[in-house]
Structure 1
């Protein structure tokens, strides 16, 4: 009989209360017989633990309501001593509590695993958002680099044939400018592609443009025949490296737009330093303001300027210049330094 009471334990995980009732019934049926007994009812205890650890709420309640009286009946039928009653009730309660603790631990483990899964999903989503932001940044960089270089090459290429006979030196300078703009664009594209491929090497280590590079940028545009001035007022302040890149790209994009869209003869680039602020203005005397894309701000370049400024907590405006003449792009940035290592020249 004792051996048979162990067999239902094979199904205790599927039907814990049913298995406990079967084992209990087998034990009660064995009580009238005068045979060798066990010092401890292992099978019922295992089944009781399973009910406390895995069964539903109503099954656990049924187990407590029915189990305690049955324990009392079994003790009364055997020894009917206070010591046996105390031991039996203590054993019942201890096994039940252990089952509840196992159930609680399992629930805690599942909650931790669920939280870990949610955190992993959140991390993956953040990685995807970061990748999207990086793609947008690279798209802006490639647009700025290619647009500026191609605009310079187009202007010089159109001017070269016109002066190739009348002014060979000027024609040669125009072709040299075309070659220089192409080489500069290739160097910067290799750098960006090197970063995308995560390949170490000179391309990945090429420095980003800084405020010091504005002089060379303006000089490149001057070679197209356009009069460009660069002025600065106020006391320069240390500017974070990423903000310097933004200033450079803003000026580059504004000059590119002048070459592409404005019939201008004079362009002024102005940097105005104030406590905690830097204002960058690029103003021309051409007719760029009459272009629909410029007025509406639907051009990708102007959108990129606004996005770059907003990324640093700044603002960008674009529209007709004073008295409606020419076109003016203005960007205002807060001067914020994240760390000393980010301070550029």
Structure 2
């Protein structure tokens, strides 16, 4: 159904032609079904004029009001000039009423409603002058109009949801790029600032610092190139950028250690087989928390722990630096951590470490059961 809807949205002309053909088949039935002997036989001119009432439906979306007027005019000519078979339903008018209700602006909808309120009773008066037929005709035209308005409301909801999804995706990409660039640039700055001192005091350490800067830059460029490549190849609404997982944590910690921060890592519980989105979120949370330590804490060491207990995953990043500052509580990094935690149904708490020393980030995330894995 979704593929058919997408194809129809991409080929509206073909859809309109198909609808006109379907209506043509319907209005042909009274001409091929044998008529009672007391009635005049169906004629080719009558059939040709019937076809003329259907043909405008091909342009129903491009000029709905003009199509409605053309259908009404051809139908009136058929009724007044020729003695041909009647139709069980006014198919052409119903298609026009639905289209105008679904796509036309309010002024055209009101004009069409007024026109039909005149044309329908006039058609019934020319046909049977029956109150029953008038009631039925008004009912089916009202139903077509209501269905058209419901279609318009559903399309509006779909557009709003697509816009929201696009906004969420833009926010996700912005977080990813912030995490990649912020982490890489922070490590490069630390290494670059330490480089001149190391050149004078310990040349071998200076060489290691420059190598770390180069490796960090190459890694950031590779991640950005991969992300942008997927976005470019995926097109609108295309694929998502490759996501990190917990297998990338050792490399992340090594890059941070190369910047001079002593990072200790520990874990408990079964971490293998976590759902891929959750594993990626944990990686980015640890990355951003360590980036904050490098940028703001002036810490000598930090601890990273990931513990899984039951249906919860706890991520703790703690440093021995100078503790929380106003700038740290207002940065984009901590906001991003809270957003990632909330996106997975969890929570994030930040504040002083034990005994008021240092700073810690504690994130608690629920672990979904029975979903995809990191593989």
- The C-alpha deviation readout for 1:156-193, integer Å capped at 9, x for no partner, is 11111111243222111111111111111111112222
- Structure 2 equivalent of residue 313 of structure 1: 345
Q: Does 1:292 align with 2:326?
A: yes
Equivalent residues in 2 for 1:82-121 (5 A)?
A: 92-93=129-130, 96-121=131-156
1:242 counterpart = 2:277: yes
Report if aligned partners of 1:238, 1:343 keep a CA contact under 8 Å in 2. yes
Matched-pair contact (CA < 8 Å) for 1:238–1:337: no
Give the superposed CA RMSD. 3.2
196, 212, 219: which is aligned to 2:231?
196
Aligned length: 263
The CA deviation at 1:55 is 4.0
Q: Distance in 1 between matches of 2:223 and 2:318?
A: 26
Q: TM-score, normalised by structure 1?
A: 0.69
For residues 185-264 of structure 1, the aligned pairs below 5 Å read: 185-199=220-234, 207-236=242-271, 238-264=273-299
Structure 2 partner of 1:154: 189
The structure with higher relative contact order (CA 8 Å, sep 6+) is: 1
Matched, 1:343 2:368: no
Q: Which runs of 5+ in 2 are unaligned?
A: 1-68, 70-114
Secondary structure of 2:303's aligned partner: strand
Q: 1:198 is paired with a residue of what secondary structure?
A: helix
Measure, in 2, the Cα distance between the counterparts of 1:98 and 1:150: 77
Judge conservation of contact 1:237–1:335 (CA < 8 Å) in 2: no
Q: Is the 8 A contact 1:144 1:252 kept in 2?
A: yes
Q: Deviations over 1:172-225 (max 9, x none)?
A: 11111111111111111122222332348xxx7974110111111011100111
- Contact kept in structure 1, 2:299 and 2:322, CA below 8 Å: yes
8 Å CA contact retained: 2:231, 2:240: no
| Structure index of larger Rg | 1
> 2:364 matched to 1:325?
no
Which runs of no fewer than 5 residues in structure 1 stay unpaired? 1-12, 14-52, 68-89
| Aligned counterpart for 1:179 among listed residues 197, 208, 214 | 214
Is the contact made by 2:323 and 2:356 (CA closer than 8 Å) also made in structure 1?
no
In the alignment, which residue of structure 1 is the partner of 2:163? 128
Q: In the TM superposition, what whole-angstrom CA distance separates every residue of 1:223-277 from its partner, at most 9, and x where no partner exists?
A: 1111101100233363111111110011000100011001111100001110011
